[in-house]
């Protein structure tokens, strides 16, 4: 069918992959960092032109020669408010944006509580979401709020720019589901929530189907719908029903593919849509790799590899030590003001290797709790993709399959967001030519990965898990309800 490209505009850079449209084989790649602001630091307010500059640089040297379609993946939660003429009324608001924490609480109260938001749009407002940033804008910059006539996210804005800023503005259901004013269950915007946050109505991009084209450039280059980074990475990894992803950053997240949207009055589940017509319920923990870094500092380990080597000298169960890794408080379970707990201290267990092992098991058991939130709502989890540099650590790989109770897949590092965007482009191209079905994305070769089975360690792992659950229930009775 030819060649297609996927570009992923992350918070730091633009990555481009050029792929064979039939097989997904990566033929060429490009990369460029976004230009930094005057302060030299990554700001929470960014001129979107920086994304175009790095895109142009990454695509230099004829990288896109012969490409027939492009898909766009971009950082989620980046709000780009435009005036009636299509100009930005202020820099894009990106990232977690702690400025909006009070605004998030205001919005929760304004609609009648967490359950009301979960029912309305499948998620409870968080500081990073566009709906919350709109509330902050309304309160902190009322003149800019009044001028905001069109609301876009990063991938919407980039697609619109690539198409030459047409009158029609589009987005996809994956990106829309993270705004806080689009319901994945209903498949529709909630304009009343935009007005609640911003103080007035605004134009919102048309939500087009997963295999639809956003348009074609004057040169004949097809541009697909685009999507958020999370949804693009899921498409790039080839996730399907029965698959979950555990992402190990400083904090952790667990998401899985599910055929329907989930409503969770507690707010533990964020109900996102994916880029294929399915759904991606997500559960977040505040403590993942930060738990390991804290343990490394405590034990004097030089790095996480050193901590892993130390933990491997211990045995499953860490000689009875259990770490509840709630070092920054916790979101799952909802314990925002608590601290971590190290239980089971005995003279024989007070050794560095056992504390190191307890740190790894505590982190993974916290993520297993998040997996159980999804399983408790009927989500099928047979295979867990483990992402992030910490996924390569031997102590993580040794413990994860048995603690998660599932096959664990550790993909080789790759630009999965960009690959997913390219796969979407190939899908839209095939549908436009009548060679692919709009209900099924093209079958591409899967990610090269290491596969780990629970095997004979399953019973031991589940005993360790039960030990963690017992300590959690004793320490925080009733805090966790699946």
Q: How far apart are CA 176 and CA 346, in angstroms?
A: 51
At CA 471, angle to CA 470 and CA 473, rounded to 5?
65
Q: Pairing state of beta strands 242-248 and 381-387?
A: parallel
CA dist 453 → 335, 398, 460 (Å): 32, 10, 14
Give the residue among 49, 47, 43, 68 at the shortest CA–CA distance from 422.
68
pLDDT means per 10 residues, the chain with 482 residues, are 94 96 97 79 84 97 97 96 97 86 94 94 92 96 98 98 96 97 96 98 98 95 97 96 96 96 88 96 96 98 98 98 97 93 96 98 98 96 96 98 98 95 98 96 92 95 98 94 62
The pTM of the full predicted model, rounded to 2 decimals, is 0.93
344 backbone dihedrals φ, ψ, rounded to 5°: 85, 20
Cβ atoms of residues 97 and 127 within 8 Å: yes
Give the residue among 369, 251, 363 at the shortest CA–CA distance from 318.
363
Residues 170-179: b if buried by 16+ CB within 10 A, e if exposed: bbbbbbbbbb
Tokens of 57: 């640089």
């Amino acid at each position: 069918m030819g060649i297609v490209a996927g570009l992923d505009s992350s918070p730091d850079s633009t990555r481009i992959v050029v792929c064979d449209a039939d097989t997904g084989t990566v033929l060429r790649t490009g990369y460029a960092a976004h230009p930094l602001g005057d302060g030299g630091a990554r700001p929470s307010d960014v001129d979107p032109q920086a994304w175009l500059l790095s895109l142009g640089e990454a695509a230099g040297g004829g990288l896109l020669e012969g490409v027939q379609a492009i898909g766009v993946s971009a950082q989620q939660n980046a709000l780009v408010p435009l005036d009636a003429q299509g100009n930005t009324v202020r820099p894009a608001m990106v990232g977690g944006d702690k400025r909006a924490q009070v605004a998030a609480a205001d919005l929760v109260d304004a609609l009648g509580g967490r359950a009301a938001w979960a029912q309305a749009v499948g998620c409870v407002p968080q500081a990073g979401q566009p709906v919350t940033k709109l509330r902050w804008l309304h309160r902190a910059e009322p003149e800019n709020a009044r001028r905001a006539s069109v609301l876009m996210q990063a991938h919407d804005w980039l697609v619109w720019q690539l198409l030459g800023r047409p009158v029609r503005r589009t987005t996809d259901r994956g990106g829309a589901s993270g705004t806080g004013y689009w319901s994945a269950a209903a498949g529709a915007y909630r304009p009343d929530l935009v007005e609640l946050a911003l103080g007035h109505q605004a134009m919102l991009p048309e939500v087009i189907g997963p295999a639809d084209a956003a348009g074609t450039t004057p040169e004949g280059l097809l541009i697909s719908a685009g999507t958020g980074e999370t949804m693009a990475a899921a498409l790039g990894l080839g996730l399907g029903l029965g698959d979950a992803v555990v992402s190990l950053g400083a904090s952790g997240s667990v998401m899985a593919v599910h055929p329907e949207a989930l409503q969770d009055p507690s707010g533990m589940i964020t109900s996102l849509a994916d880029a294929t017509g399915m759904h991606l319920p997500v559960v977040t923990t505040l403590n993942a790799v930060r738990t390991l870094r804290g343990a490394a500092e405590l034990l004097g380990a030089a790095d996480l590899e050193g901590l892993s080597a130390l933990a491997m000298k211990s045995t499953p169960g860490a000689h009875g030590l259990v770490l509840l890794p709630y070092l920054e408080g916790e979101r799952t379970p909802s314990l925002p003001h608590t601290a971590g707990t190290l239980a089971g201290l005995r003279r024989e267990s007070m050794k560095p290797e056992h504390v190191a092992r307890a740190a790894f098991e505590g982190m993974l058991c916290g993520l297993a709790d998040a997996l159980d939130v999804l399983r408790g709502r009927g989500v099928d989890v047979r295979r867990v993709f483990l992402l992030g540099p910490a996924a390569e650590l031997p102590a993580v790989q040794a413990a994860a399959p048995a603690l998660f109770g599932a096959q664990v897949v550790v993909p080789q590092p790759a630009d999965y967001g960009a690959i997913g965007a390219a796969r979407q482009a190939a899908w839209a191209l095939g549908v436009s030519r009548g060679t692919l079905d709009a209900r099924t994305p093209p079958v591409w070769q899967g990610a090269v990965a290491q596969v780990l089975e629970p095997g004979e360690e399953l019973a031991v792992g589940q005993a360790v898990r039960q030990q963690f659950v017992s300590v959690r229930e004793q320490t925080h009775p009733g805090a966790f309800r699946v």
